[in-house]
């Protein structure tokens, strides 16, 4: 096992009717900016619950943060933070609203001229404006981690940011919110969380027995609840397991002491930036090709995945490893998630070359756990995913 430090300061408040506890978590007298997305919270009752819980507070609102939070929209919210002397942010939404809020937390205290530099120049956020979240969509794990991804559509760019200053102070996780989530987003959430585990697990063995079993149990739980939650999103039991699995998949725990990959996400973000494909679906497009192209480096963990998660017990290491990739594809297909780029866009030709060029220009010469995934290999992976 590798050496590691582990600190996760986010307080989780989990369960039914817990949104009412908001008033206990926000500092008395705070000037709050409540941030949300395109309006789902106004249809499913979450907006009312939050407003009721905050009736003693001075609250400004900013709605309209789109999926893949857009820099230009967030800059309007930053103006409100400055004009209204906001000192506490409250995200009410999924990964996009939470990530947008993280960007604002950082940008509000940023001393440089152009907040885009935080993303473009990889500036770590050591201290941000304090914020909390009410999670409405299990998927990204953003509610309990310190990362964010922001899009600038005019430049077709989607960049990550992060730092210890960007952990939420608290996150309220009420599984009842799952009941209003559309099928497409449920499937996305399961796929995203599942791939988060793969990125931290499908590398090479490092004798981290507990981390491996944490990872495997998250994947097993997601596989078990997936058909139930798709069939009935108002099933509270399944919703609870779905929600907590998504959080645990990316709150830092399972990546401690082990190598991590993240090449699938790096390539996937380009597909969202270029074609607007949902984040989770870009992962399902890239993951199988990535594992096939890097088969020799990953076959031992692939075989372990086959055996322990998919129950494949016959065959040698290579055979099991191949079957794991097939089982993964079948799992995505069972959620009605397509795994080929050509199933999402007709204009896919040239995508591989474009991404190869972009990564070369950024100096991303070696992605993955062994820094072996060169731009030339990325091109091959993307071509294989056509
Ligand atoms: O905008 P509204 O109207 O609220 O509708 C949203 C949105 O259209 C809807 N929705 C959310 N909760 C709902 C609901 N509809 C009905 N009932 C509810 N309870 O769902 C749609 C998608 O929301 P979004 O927040 O975009 O989805 P998700 O949580 O999948 O977030 C995706 C974003 O997170 C980033 C992705 O790149 C993408 O930009 N990621 C963030 C990560 C992180 N911070 O750690 C890691 C991930 O790998 C990922 O990159
Ligand atoms: Zn993801």
Please, what are the domains in the chain?
11-176 (3.40.50.1970), 182-384 (1.20.1090.10)
Res 331: pLDDT: 98
Res 382: pLDDT: 98
> What is the DSSP track for 243-260?
HHHHHHHTSSGGGTTS--
Closest CA to 110 of 86, 128, 133, 96: 128
Provide the 10 A C-beta neighbour count for residue 289: 22
Q: Does 250 contact ligand 1 (Cβ within 6 A)?
A: yes
- Calculate what percentage of the chain has a pLDDT beyond 70: 100
Closest CA to 376 of 364, 345, 275: 364
Res 150: pLDDT: 97
Q: How confident is the model at residue 197 (pLDDT cuts 50, 70, 90)?
A: very high
Q: Does 139 contact ligand 1 (Cβ within 6 A)?
A: yes
Closest CA to 144 of 34, 255, 238, 42: 255
Which residue's alpha carbon is at the smallest distance from atom 43 of ligand 1? 142
- Calculate what percentage of the chain has a pLDDT beyond 90: 100
Res 20: pLDDT: 96
Q: How confident is the model at residue 7 (pLDDT cuts 50, 70, 90)?
A: very high
Check: CB of residue 35 under 8 Å from CB of residue 80.
no
Burial class from Cβ neighbours inside 10 Å (0-12, 13-18, 19+) for residue 198 reads buried
Q: How confident is the model at residue 185 (pLDDT cuts 50, 70, 90)?
A: very high
Provide the 10 A C-beta neighbour count for residue 43: 9
Q: How confident is the model at residue 97 (pLDDT cuts 50, 70, 90)?
A: very high
Res 207: pLDDT: 96
Ligand 1 centroid to residue 96 C-alpha, Å: 5
Res 86: pLDDT: 98
Q: Does 96 contact ligand 1 (Cβ within 6 A)?
A: yes
Q: Does 177 contact ligand 1 (Cβ within 6 A)?
A: yes
Res 62: pLDDT: 98
Residue with tokens 């819980």: 53
Res 35: pLDDT: 98
The rounded mean pLDDT for the chain is 97
Residue with tokens 């120049």: 121
SS3 state of residue 65:
coil
- For the segment 3-24, the average pLDDT, to the nearest whole number, is 97
Res 168: pLDDT: 98
Ligand 1 centroid to residue 304 C-alpha, Å: 31
Q: Which residues pair with 162 in a beta bridge?
A: 147
Q: Does 94 contact ligand 1 (Cβ within 6 A)?
A: yes
The number of the ligand 1 atom at minimal distance from the alpha carbon of 137 is 12
| Distance, CA of 57 to CA of 132 (rounded, Å) | 14
Q: Does 142 contact ligand 1 (Cβ within 6 A)?
A: yes
Contacts of 65 (CB under 8 A, 6+ apart): 35, 36, 37, 38, 73, 74, 77, 93, 96, 97, 100
Check: CB of residue 35 under 8 Å from CB of residue 93.
yes
Q: Does 279 contact ligand 1 (Cβ within 6 A)?
A: yes
How confident is the model over 118-131, as pLDDT tens digits? Answer: 999 999 999 999 99
Ligand 2 centroid to residue 264 C-alpha, Å: 9
Among the bound ligands, name the one nearest to the CA of residue 191.
2
SS3 content of the chain, % helix, strand, coil (to 5): 55, 10, 35
How confident is the model over 23-68, as pLDDT tens digits? Answer: 999 999 999 999 999 999 999 999 999 999 999 999 999 999 999 9
Res 252: pLDDT: 98
Ligand 2 centroid to residue 279 C-alpha, Å: 7
Check: CB of residue 134 under 8 Å from CB of residue 90.
yes
Which residue's alpha carbon is at the smallest distance from atom 50 of ligand 1? 149
How confident is the model over 281-336, as pLDDT tens digits? Answer: 999 999 999 999 999 999 999 999 999 999 999 999 999 999 999 999 999 999 99
């Amino acid at each position: 096992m590798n050496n590691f430090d582990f600190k996760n300061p986010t307080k989780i408040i989990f369960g039914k009717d817990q949104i009412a506890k908001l008033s206990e978590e926000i500092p008395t007298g705070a000037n709050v900016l409540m941030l949300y997305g395109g309006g789902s919270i106004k249809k499913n009752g979450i907006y009312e619950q939050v407003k009721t819980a905050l009736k003693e507070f001075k609250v400004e609102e900013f709605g309209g943060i789109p999926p893949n939070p857009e820099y230009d929209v967030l800059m309007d919210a930053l103006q409100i933070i400055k004009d209204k002397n906001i000192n506490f942010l409250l995200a009410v939404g999924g990964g996009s609203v939470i990530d947008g809020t993280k960007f604002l937390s950082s940008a509000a205290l940023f001393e440089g001229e152009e907040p885009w530099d935080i993303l473009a120049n990889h500036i770590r956020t050591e201290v941000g404006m304090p914020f909390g979240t009410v999670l409405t969509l299990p998927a990204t794990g953003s509610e309990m981690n310190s990362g964010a991804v922001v899009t600038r559509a005019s430049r077709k760019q989607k960049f990550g940011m992060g730092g210890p200053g960007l952990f939420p102070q608290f996150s309220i996780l009420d599984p009842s919110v799952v009941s209003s989530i559309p099928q497409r987003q449920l499937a996305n959430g399961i796929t995203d969380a599942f791939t988060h585990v793969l990125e931290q697990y499908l590398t090479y063995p490092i004798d981290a027995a507990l981390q491996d079993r944490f990872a495997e149990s998250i994947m097993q739980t997601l596989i078990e609840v997936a058909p139930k939650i798709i069939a009935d999103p108002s099933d509270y039991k399944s919703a609870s397991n779905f929600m907590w699995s998504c959080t645990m998949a990316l709150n830092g725990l399972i990546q401690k002491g082990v190598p991590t990959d993240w090449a699938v996400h790096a390539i996937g973000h380009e597909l969202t930036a270029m074609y607007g494909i949902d984040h989770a679906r870009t992962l399902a497009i890239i993951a199988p090709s990535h594992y096939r192209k890097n088969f020799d480096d990953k076959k031992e963990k692939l075989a372990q995945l086959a055996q322990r998660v998919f129950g494949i017990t016959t065959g040698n290491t290579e055979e099991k490893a191949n079957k794991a990739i097939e089982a993964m594809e079948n799992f995505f297909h069972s959620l009605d998630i397509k795994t080929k780029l050509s199933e999402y866009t007709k204009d896919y030709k040239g995508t591989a070359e474009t991404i190869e060029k972009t990564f070369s220009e950024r100096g991303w010469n070696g992605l993955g756990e062994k820094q072996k995934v060169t731009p030339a290999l990325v091109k091959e992976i993307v071509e294989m995913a056509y």
